């Protein structure tokens, strides 16, 4: 499996990380290097093996579906880069 520049650009787009066109060849090389390392996993016979979902045998805890917290608007907005009138502010999303 080899990654070309257009795949690297697609991955960067999916990850929402801006990568300049000039940086794409180097990025594709890095991916190929790392994926080459990962390819070793193909040597392992995994026939009939369950993929791990939890490293300890316990089941995830459940709790009642009810409100346990809230009324902390100020605290939640305190670290926002741009908060206005009690909301997170972002560039225009809808035309």
Partner 1 sequence: MSDLNKLGLAEARDALRKGDTTSVELTEACLKAIDAADALNAFVHKTPEIAMERAKAADERIKAGEAPSMCGLPIGIKDLFCTKGVPSQAASKILEGFKPEYESTVSQKLADAGSVMLGKLNMDEFAMGSSNETSVYGNAVSPWRRGNDDAQLTPGGSSGGSASAVAADLCLAATGTDTGGSIRQPAAFTGTVGIKPTYGRCSRWGIVAFASSLDQAGPMTKSVRDAAIMLEAMCGHDPKDSTSAELTVPDFEAMLTGDIRGKKIGIPKEYRMDGMPGEIGKLWSDGAEMLKAAGAEIVDISLPHTKYALPAYYVIAPAEASSNLARYDGVRYGRRATLEAGDGITEMYEKTRAEGFGHEVQRRVMVGTYVLSAGFYDAYYNRARKVRTLIKKDFEDVFAAGVDAILTPATPSAAFGLGEMTEADPVQMYLNDVFTVTVNLAGLPGIAVPAGLDKQGLPLGLQLIGKPWEEGDLLNTAYALENAAGFVAKPQQWW
What residue ranges bind partner 1 (CB under 8 A)? Answer: 1, 3, 8, 11-19, 27, 30-31, 33-35, 37-44, 46, 49-56, 58, 60-61, 63, 72, 75-76, 78-82, 88, 90-93
Nearest residue (CB) to partner 1, 5 versus 12:
12
- In the chain, how many H helices and how many E strands? 3, 2
Query: Nearest approach, Cβ of 51 to partner 1 (angstroms)?
Result: 3
**Strand-pair partners of 50:** none
Residue whose C-alpha is closest to residue 28's, from 49, 51, 5: 5
């Amino acid at each position: 499996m080899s990654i070309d520049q257009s795949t690297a650009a697609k991955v960067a787009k999916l990850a929402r990380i801006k990568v300049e066109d000039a940086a794409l060849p180097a990025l594709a090389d890095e991916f190929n290097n790392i994926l080459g390392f990962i390819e070793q996993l193909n040597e392992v016979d995994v026939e009939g093996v369950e993929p791990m979902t939890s490293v300890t045998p316990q089941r995830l805890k459940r709790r009642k579906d009810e409100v346990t917290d809230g009324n902390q608007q100020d605290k939640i907005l305190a670290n926002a880069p741009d908060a206005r009138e009690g909301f997170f502010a972002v560039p225009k999303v809808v035309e």
